[in-house]
């Protein structure tokens, strides 16, 4: 029983990341009709926004400490962050400690800007081209983005810890009346899950309850008619691309304390996110979210020791297995609508 609760919890944070990325993918696909293979790279860039902000906050000048020696026996060069000079050491440390949450503010404008540049500069020219062309160009773009990040930040993962307040884990089991330590769950993963829920709720509310969202939804249903009504739907779709980029970026920012980011983390999520979109149903936002959590939880279950003992290797194929079953029984995915990508 404990094991099952535990794996559901585990699946939730993994599912949150899948759902956030798949949500962005579906938004772009539903509005612009583009299959964006660079979406994983946007997630990665988001994570590196957090890395960049912590680097900026810890930007230092060198003070020679003659009392200590470095590895060559020369006087030790101590790096003192500039932020100490502005706000003092204690406040400086607090700001550095909270670098990851602060990066949310830092990442939003950057991600929206990158989204705009991507859409206007490159993807726009591929609207009328076949999906295969779109996949090739966005995949190429993803590789370029990866290599740029690797050039500046190196190939090794860069530790980007959560604020001190969120270190450690919550003993969920004790709260539910199980034995102590039977179900533990890190605080930051709870934060991640709640954050994802807020973002997903926000995107849905935006599309459902604002005039802008209504126009976008109308455009998704029938782009031509909305255009004929004199609405500049392209401009709105560009904004949606920026929004999708920001969602992926924020998912990346908040993911950094869970796993130290490196340049190819986007690719790790990209393929799975596409499976999520397909299982959820191409073009269905709620399908993407549902499938994201579903596959995240299933993946966690498949890694349970008891399951692995009966079905060795199931953990590596479970997602694809489910995808095959769903597509065989419901060819449009869980919540797919007729007519999407079927022409």
Partner 1 sequence: MSIIKPTRRGLLRTSAVAGAGLAMPTIFTGSASAYMNEPTGSSVTLGFNVPQSGPYADEGADELRAYELAVEHLNGGGDGGMMNTFSSKELKGNGILGKKVEYVTGDTQTKADAARASAKSMIEKDGAIMITGGSSSGVAVAVQALCQEAGIIFMAGLTHSNDTTGKDKKANGFRHFFNSYMSGAALAPVLANAYGKDRKAYHLTADYNWGYTTEEAVRESTEAMGWETVNAVKTPLTQTDFSSYIAPVLQSDADVLVLNHYGGNMINSLTNAVQFGLRDKLVNGKNFEIIVPLYSRLMARGAGENVKGIFGSTNWHWSLQDEGSKAFVKSFGEKYGFPPSQAAHTTYCQTLLYADAAERAGTFNPCGIAEALEGFEFDGLGNGKTLYRAEDHQCFKDVLVVKGKENPTSEFDILEVVEVTPVSQVTYDANIPQMGGPEATLGDCNPGA
# binding residues, partner 1 (CB under 8 A):
48
Query: Nearer Cβ to partner 1, position 31 or 103?
Result: 103
Q: Which is nearer to partner 1, 10 or 52 (CB)?
A: 10
**What tokens does 191 get?**
């934060």
Binding to partner 1 (CB under 8 A): which residues in 119-138? none
Least distance CB 317 / partner 1 (angstroms): 10
In Å, the largest CA–CA distance within the chain is: 76
Sign of the Cα pseudo-torsion (186, 192, 195, 196, in order):
negative
Among positions 126, 188, 193, 241, the unique one binding partner 1 when judged by CB under 8 A: 188
* DSSP 8-state assignment for residue 276: H
Name the H helices within 33-98: 39-57, 82-87, 89-97
Residue 103 has which token pair? Answer: 């990066």
Our CB check for partner 1 shows the closer of 169 and 286 to be 169
Of 6-14, 29-37, 50-58, 205-213: span binding partner 1 (CB under 8 A): 6-14
Measured at the alpha carbon of residue 36, what is the angle toward residues 127 and 273, in degrees to the nearest 5? 150
Of residues 189, 219, 193, 208, the one with CA closest to residue 286? 208
For residues 34 and 123, give the distance between their C-alpha atoms in angstroms, rounded to a whole number. 8
Task: Tell me which H or E stretch contains 66.
Answer: strand 60-69
Interaction residues for partner 1, span 143-172 (CB under 8 A):
150, 154-159, 161, 167-169
Among 308, 321, 324, 325, binds partner 1 (CB under 8 A): 308
Enter the tokens of residue 47. 């994570």
Region from 4-12, 41-49, 94-102, 280-288 binding partner 1, contact rule CB under 8 A: 4-12
Q: Contact between 68 and partner 1 (CB under 8 A)?
A: yes
Selected binder of partner 1 within 67, 211, 305, 310 (CB under 8 A): 305
Examine residue 93 and tell whether it contacts partner 1 (CB under 8 A): no
Q: Are strands 75-81 and 60-69 parallel, antiparallel or unpaired?
A: antiparallel
Comparing CB distances to partner 1, the nearer of 161 and 213 is 161
To partner 1, the closest distance from the beta carbon of 297 in angstroms equals 10
Are 16 and 192 spatial neighbours (Cβ–Cβ below 8 Å)? yes
> What's the Cα-to-Cα distance from 158 to each of 52, 136, 140, 250, 258, rounded to whole Å?
11, 29, 24, 18, 12
In the bound state with partner 1, the residue whose beta carbon lies nearer, of 3 and 215, is 3
- Binding partner 1 (rule: CB under 8 A), the pick from 66, 67, 72, 328 is 72
What does the block give as tokens for 66? 């003659």
In eight-state DSSP terms, residue 72 is T
Choose one: 82-90, 105-113, 179-187, 276-284; the region binding partner 1 (CB under 8 A): 179-187
Decide if residue 39 touches partner 1 (CB under 8 A): no
Stretch that binds partner 1, among 52-60, 190-198, 246-254, 264-272 (CB under 8 A): 264-272
HSE, CB side, 13 Å, CA atoms: give it for residue 115: 32
For partner 1, the closer CB: 225 or 316: 316
Judged by CB under 8 A, which of 83, 265, 288, 291 binds partner 1? 265
In the 3-class helix/strand/coil scheme, how is 202-249 assigned residue by residue? HHHHHHHHCHHHHHHHHHHHCHHHHHHCCCCHHHHHHHHHHHHHHHHH
Residue with tokens 């926004």: 49
CA separation for the pair 343, 336 (Å, rounded): 14
Output the smallest distance, CB 340 to partner 1, in A.
31
Positions touching partner 1 (CB under 8 A) are 2-3, 6-7, 9-11, 13-14, 68, 70-72, 76, 150, 154-159, 161, 167-169, 181-182, 184-186, 188-189, 257-260, 262, 264-265, 268, 299-300, 303-305, 308, 315-316
């Amino acid at each position: 029983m404990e094991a099952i609760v535990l794996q559901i919890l585990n699946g939730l944070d993994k599912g949150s990341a899948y759902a956030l990325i798949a949500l962005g993918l579906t938004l772009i696909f539903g509005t612009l009709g583009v299959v964006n293979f660079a979406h994983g790279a946007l997630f990665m860039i988001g994570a590196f926004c957090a890395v960049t902000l912590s680097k900026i906050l810890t930007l230092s000048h060198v003070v020679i400490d003659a009392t200590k020696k470095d590895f060559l026996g020369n006087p030790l060069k101590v790096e003192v962050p500039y932020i100490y000079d502005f706000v003092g050491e204690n406040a400086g440390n607090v700001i550095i400690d909270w670098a990851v949450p602060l990066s949310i503010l830092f990442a939003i404008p950057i991600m929206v800007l990158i989204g705009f540049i991507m859409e206007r500069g490159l993807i726009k020219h591929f609207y009328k081209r076949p999906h295969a062309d779109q996949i090739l160009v966005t995949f190429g773009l993803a590789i370029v983005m990866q290599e740029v990040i690797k050039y500046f930040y190196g190939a090794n993962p860069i530790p980007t810890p959560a604020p001190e307040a969120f270190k450690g884990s919550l003993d969920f089991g004790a709260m539910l009346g199980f034995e102590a330590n039977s179900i533990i769950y890190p605080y930051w993963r709870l934060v991640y899950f709640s954050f994802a829920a807020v973002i997903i709720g926000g995107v849905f509310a935006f599309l459902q309850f604002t005039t802008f969202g209504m126009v976008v939804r109308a455009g998704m249903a029938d782009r031509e008619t909305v255009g004929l009504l004199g609405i500049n739907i392209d401009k709105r779709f560009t904004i949606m691309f920026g929004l999708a980029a920001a969602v992926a970026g924020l998912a990346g920012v908040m993911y950094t304390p869970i796993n130290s980011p490196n340049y190819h983390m986007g690719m790790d999520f990209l393929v799975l996110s596409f499976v999520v979109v397909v299982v959820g149903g191409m073009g269905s936002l709620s399908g993407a979210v549902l499938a994201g959590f579903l596959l995240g939880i299933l993946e966690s279950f498949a890694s349970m020791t008891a399951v692995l003992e009966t079905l060795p290797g199931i953990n590596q194929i479970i997602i694809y297995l489910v995808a095959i079953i769903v597509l065989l029984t419901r060819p449009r995915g869980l919540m797919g609508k007729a007519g999407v990508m079927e022409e």
